[in-house]
A and B are shown apart, each in its own frame.
Chain A
Amino acid sequence: MSEAIETARTYLRPSKKLPTVWCGGCGLGIILSAMIRAIARVGVEKNDVAVVSGIGCTGRMPTYVDFNTLHTTHGRALAFATGIKLARPSLTVIAAMGDGDALAIGGNHFIHACRRNIDMTAIVANNSIYGMTGGQYSPTTPHGKRGTTAPYGNVEHAFDVASLAAGAGATFVARSSVYHARELDRLFEKAIRHKGFSVVEAVTNCYTSYGRLNNHASPVEMLRWMKENSVPFAAAAKMDPEELEGKFTRGVIVDRELPEFIESYDEQASALAENPVAVEQVGNILRRFDAAAERLNPKSG
């Protein structure tokens, strides 16, 4: 049995939920398999991984994988994931979201998760459209490109997902595409290993809802577009802005160290536990609560 089949057997839920609901030629399967390869390489036990999603085509991802999984509401994957990580800091938590999910309805959660630097990985599958609901323009639809709600071209401007994450304070930010499947799993691996909040933008193709509206010939042609219009980050640094027009950069964009949220929180709690004044103050508050509770609800006997 090949290694790939063995990995699939280990990490997928074949008896339950395959084949996927995704359209033929959709890039989401490539992202899913890259995520699985990355987790396998990190070597974390399946039961120690939680994969959380919101709504949309990407939101279906947790259905197929045999980890602890949670399929939540539109835009809220990171909020649920934060709760999971706080309750069980030992879990490796991964939130998989689409561009509409992560950046429109969930945009507020996204920037604050970046700022908070809690140790988890956010995968943003960016196909520049709301795929599942039928091609409405999203926060990453490029200016001038078409959506069903922008039949003659989008008059708004797109977010640069990686720059947004970097600006909001994420301590690891990277980007690649589904054409670069191997690079993608290596970036996912780095992101999972990174201590702090990591964002990996996976540029992907939605031929069904985006490609057809924007004169792409096929899903394959969209992959070719990614190949021809992306530049490794290091090479891009040496290029003129004109040369980079209409292209996207790939690779690790931010990788820095900053105290992680849960560690900082625990540190503060242990420091307070050793501070007699703080212990007394907290003790007083608790005693007052107890006294109030006793007044409201006197214990019999």
Chain B
Amino acid sequence: MGRRLILTGNDAAAEAMRQIDPDVVAAFPITPQTELMHKFAQHVADGDVKAEFVLVESEHSAMSATVGAAAAGARAMTATSANGLALMWEIVYIAASSRLPIVMPVVNRALSGPINIHCDHSDTMGCRDSGWLQIYSENAQEVYDNVLQAIRIAEHPDVLLPVMVTFDGFILSHTAEILEGLEDPVVRKWVGDYESKYTLLNTDEPVTYGPLDLQDYYFEHKRQQIEAMRNAPKVVRDVGKAYGEISGRSYDLLEAYELEGATRVIVALGSTAGTAKAVVDEMRAAGEAVGLLKIRCFRPFPEAEIAEKLSRAKAVAVLDRSVSFGAPGGPVHKEIKAALYGTGCDIGLVNYIYGLGGRDVSMDHIRQAFTDLTTIAREGTPSDGVRFLGLRD
């Protein structure tokens, strides 16, 4: 049976990391990720874990050290937020293209400038094309569960790609919730031992990571990354199911919440999905046909599944907590639009940019979006297809 714990999102990630006990963890402090690493550092100092922990001099070095450790055959982890992730950028791509199964919790925070330490998704959305899997968490329970699953997904031989487990800064990272944790031996067995296929430390079969790869093979290597990404949805689903067997909580790429018979649907990810669920419950009780589609796995993007789940809706509002400047809508919106292209469905689609820089999104905002959808269901996609929630005029 599980253990009942009271943890913040940061604590939940640190607890999962304690139980995983990776070989190497490299970190650099950045708000709001810091408490996660404090907790983990305490475990290291107390001898609760065997992990080698190193506080390096920047996030660029944190990701570099993690890549180095992973290439040497270690199970390696780090964690960051916002500008920290931006500074890692160069190495973030190298981690993916070197096929290193690194797992990194990212505590979502707005990118500068101006400087802001609160939540939005500009950091992780910015590296949506970096070749990492991205799993968004709704609450602290999911943070914990997602980190444990991410290890199995990343290290799966059909995938071998790094995974970001994201959760909303402050909203999740700094608020405590009751959640259920697994027993240590169960987690040990779940993650198992990591055997790297090609390690720098195997002197019998020496390998090189990241050498010059020009017009001759670079393209083919990219193709392999594309293939690995294509393999990932099945693995995410299988791991989510297997996790259900040990925890009682199964996971899929998406979560359909009250979609049965729903004509008006909101698409959201992260903690906002929780707020939306509360509104859906309230409106359903009043007899309104509303529902929520939560995207858990944003990379790879489950386009067929999303198109299928939305096929019976009349009007859909996509909530984006980041901006893709100059693009026709936020990142989630654009991909949903692409997913629906050619499916022949007749859906009124609207995009809401919300919550930038930690601007609160309340149940009223979600209600407002559902109210707008009533008109959109009748009249189709509005001409102002990209709107804002909770923005001052």
Contacts and interface: CB of A to CB of B under 8 A. Distances in A.
Contacts of A100: 29
A107 B38 contact: no
A132 B31 contact: yes
Given A71-B115, A73-B83, A75-B58, A150 B30 contact: no
A128 to B, nearest CB: 14
A133 B34 contact: yes
Size class of A's contact patch? 20 to 34
Contact of B37 (A73, A103, A139, A149): A149
A74 B37 CA distance: 19
A107 B57 contact: yes
Nearest to A59: B115
Interface in A65-104: 71, 73-75, 100, 103-104
Contact of B58 (A105, A148, A150): A105
Interface in A102-134: 103-105, 107, 130, 132-134
B28 interface: yes
The range of chain B's interface size is 20 to 34
B42 interface: yes
B41 A148 contact: yes
A107 B28 CA distance: 14
B324 interface: no
B178 interface: no
Contacts of B53: 149
Interface in B23-42: 27-31, 34-35, 37-38, 41-42
Contacts of B45: 150-152
A132 B117 CA distance: 12
Contacts of B35: 134
Contact of A150 (B28, B41, B115): B41
22 contacts: A55-B83, A73-B83, A73-B112, A74-B83, A75-B58, A105-B28, A105-B59, A107-B57, A130-B29, A133-B30, A133-B34, A134-B29, A134-B34, A134-B35, A136-B29, A148-B41, A149-B27, A149-B29, A149-B37, A149-B55, A150-B41, A151-B46
Given A73-B83, A105-B87, A149-B29, 7 more contacts: A71-B115, A74-B83, A100-B29, A136-B55, A148-B41, A149-B37, A151-B42
6 shortest interchain CB distances as A-B pairs: A104-B57, A105-B58, A133-B29, A149-B41, A136-B29, A151-B45
Interface of B: 27-31, 34-35, 37-38, 41-42, 45-46, 53, 55, 57-59, 83, 87, 112, 115
